[in-house]
Structure 1
């Protein structure tokens, strides 16, 4: 049975951009599970599967509806144990929880702020109104002011990636010799910006950039099915 995935998109349904939805896309591809997507703008998220969640991704797998990218990964792991593992055991699942918190607290704040107006530009008017109000409340200022210092903050952001950069000198993926869900957590954040913005968050010679390129190539180039913003 084909799994149904609701993923966030703007006016162009072929360019889904949510970092969390990309985690689920990569998880489904990792497991080799067939799926179909439904592009879902911000203002339609509350209508998904009878208000199953306030956010996407949401999947329907037969009679089961599951939300939250981590919960979806756990569900896929438990429901399809015969498929390639997303965690490599309970220790890998616990480690992925740490990576998720690190990504949310270290990677997402800068990237989300840097790409804020790029995201706004991809949305239909009704979604722009929602996005403007909700993000102004989140950042405590008009959204146009949020990314203005992104160039000045870029060096500090790149320096903050040193733990990841240093680890990649020992192994090609966060998961070791091959990727695990922990890789998809961080990949989703950089894919978010790649899809919505031309802003270059990583230097070309950065080992993190090389890791990201490897992730884009995974599972038949699943991450490349959406071209970089131009």
Structure 2
């Protein structure tokens, strides 16, 4: 049975960049499951799998259609229990919910503030218009005003916000401990997002977080590294 993952792309369909789609990609690789990719542009997302208001990622697994990266991870652990666990049980799943909330409120906004114009540049003209209109309406500012995080003061503040992650990674190689879990894939994915769309770097050389990103890039025979950096 073929699994199919719908994921967000720009002009280059071989360069998926959405952090949420990367969570699902890494989850599938973690499970050792073969899957095909179905690239989708911003303007095509809403109608994936005949939906009327879809978001990606979406996984087609036989008769099942699963939307949302966390739901996909839950589906994979439930339906492929003989493969390496993404959560390590119910308690691990609960803690991972916290990790996702922290990541989306700490790392994601910082990446948007340094790379939203770079994301815009990866798109074709139709999708640039769509992306600009949606993001500027959501933020109440122009993309140029949103991308205000490249100053030294704001960059230093973001690096300080990673101290809980940094302290953890000084004691163990992965958030999950000696081996990665879905929590690692969640936190890694926004850094992969930035790596693919932008040459701007937010982590300093020698930072334990940067070393961990490199370890994540090498996971599963370099599944994430195979998509080249910007």
Classify the TM-score, shorter chain. Answer: over 0.9
CA distance in structure 1 between the aligned counterparts of 2:77 and 2:27, rounded to whole angstroms: 9
CA distance in structure 2 between the aligned counterparts of 1:75 and 1:210, rounded to whole angstroms: 30
CA distance in structure 1 between the aligned counterparts of 2:136 and 2:52, rounded to whole angstroms: 26
CA distance in structure 2 between the aligned counterparts of 1:52 and 1:88, rounded to whole angstroms: 34
Q: Secondary structure at the match of 2:200?
A: coil
* Counterpart in the other structure of 1:165: 166
* Counterpart in the other structure of 1:22: 22
* Counterpart in the other structure of 1:213: 214
CA offsets 1:42-92 (integer angstroms, 9 cap, x no match): 000011000165310001001100000000000000000000000111111
How many residues are paired up?
229
Consecutive unaligned residues in structure 1, runs of 5 or more? none
Q: Secondary structure at the match of 2:170?
A: coil
CA distance in structure 2 between the aligned counterparts of 1:225 and 1:147, rounded to whole angstroms: 28
Instruction: Give the superposed CA RMSD.
Output: 0.9
CA distance in structure 1 between the aligned counterparts of 2:52 and 2:196, rounded to whole angstroms: 27
* Counterpart in the other structure of 1:32: 32
* Counterpart in the other structure of 1:124: 124
* Counterpart in the other structure of 2:51: 51
* Counterpart in the other structure of 1:63: 63
Larger displacement relative to structure 2 (174-183 or 130-139): 130-139
Taking structure 1 as the reference length, what is the TM-score of the superposition? 0.97
Consecutive unaligned residues in structure 2, runs of 5 or more? none
CA offsets 1:146-185 (integer angstroms, 9 cap, x no match): 1134223111000100000001111100000000000000
Q: Secondary structure at the match of 1:66?
A: strand
Q: CA deviation at 1:140?
A: 1.2
**Preserved contact between residue 96 and residue 183 of structure 2 (Cα < 8 Å):** yes
**Preserved contact between residue 85 and residue 180 of structure 1 (Cα < 8 Å):** yes
Please identify runs of 4+ aligned residues in structure 1 that moved more than 6 A: none
Larger displacement relative to structure 2 (48-57 or 206-215): 48-57
CA distance in structure 2 between the aligned counterparts of 1:52 and 1:191, rounded to whole angstroms: 29
Q: Secondary structure at the match of 1:95?
A: helix
* Counterpart in the other structure of 2:5: 5
